[in-house]
């Protein structure tokens, strides 16, 4: 469903049409709820941003993954301002620690195939139909994702189920407005 910008909340750019399954109400998330960054926080964010936006940036090798590889387009898309700020907060605003965490997370996302997509292929849709779905937004503009694991597996999820849940969570992040965490 395409909605005109005037009905979709705060303006992003002239003549923008966004495709959202259920658009947030205009009263939701009309401003960035986080406080402005301090000087130290801005410097840490600048360091982190400069590290990942370098034209020749490659993910450094590790013992487990001894090869050097450049960031994929989906990985660069995932490294949004909000994502970087989350990792900086988790690292106590220490840029080197946040860089290490982000690189480790990107490696984990590659191993798990989070960006690869294709998790809801027709054969898997039948298996997971109705177990997880996104419906609406909360008062802060965050998408609401419902998860209903089956009772027989409530204490033990299969890797495919976990991958599907992570995939759905990633799609929720994709439809969040800028500034929403």
What is the set of domains in the chain, with CATH numbers? 35-112 (1.10.8), 122-174 (no CATH)
- Measure the CA–CA gap between 149 and 126, rounded to whole angstroms: 14
The angle subtended at Cα 113 by Cα 118 and Cα 155, nearest 5°, is 95
pTM of the model: 0.68
List, for residues 23-36, the tens digit of each pLDDT value. Answer: 666 666 555 667 78
- Measure the CA–CA gap between 176 and 178, rounded to whole angstroms: 6
Tell me what the mean pLDDT of segment 115-142 comes to.
67
Tell me what the mean pLDDT of segment 156-179 comes to.
77
- Measure the CA–CA gap between 106 and 99, rounded to whole angstroms: 11
Exposed, middle or buried by CB within 10 Å (0-12, 13-18, 19+), for 9? buried
């Amino acid at each position: 469903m395409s909605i005109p910008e005037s009905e979709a909340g705060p303006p992003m750019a002239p003549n923008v049409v966004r495709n959202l399954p259920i658009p947030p109400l205009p009263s939701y998330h009309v401003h960035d709820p986080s406080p402005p960054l301090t000087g130290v926080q801005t410097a840490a964010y600048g360091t982190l941003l400069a590290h990942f936006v370098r034209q020749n940036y490659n993910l450094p090798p590790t013992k487990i993954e001894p090869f050097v590889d450049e960031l994929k387009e989906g990985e660069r898309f995932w490294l949004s301002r909000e994502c970087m700020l989350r990792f900086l907060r988790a690292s106590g605003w220490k840029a080197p620690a946040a860089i290490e965490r982000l690189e480790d997370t990107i490696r984990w996302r590659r191993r798990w195939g989070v960006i690869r997509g294709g998790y809801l292929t027709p054969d898997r849709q039948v298996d997971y139909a109705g177990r997880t779905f996104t419906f609406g937004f909360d008062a802060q503009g965050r998408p609401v994702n419902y998860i209903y694991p089956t009772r027989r597996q409530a204490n033990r999820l299969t890797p495919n189920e976990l991958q599907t849940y992570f995939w759905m969570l990633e799609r929720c992040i994709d439809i969040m407005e800028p500034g929403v965490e």
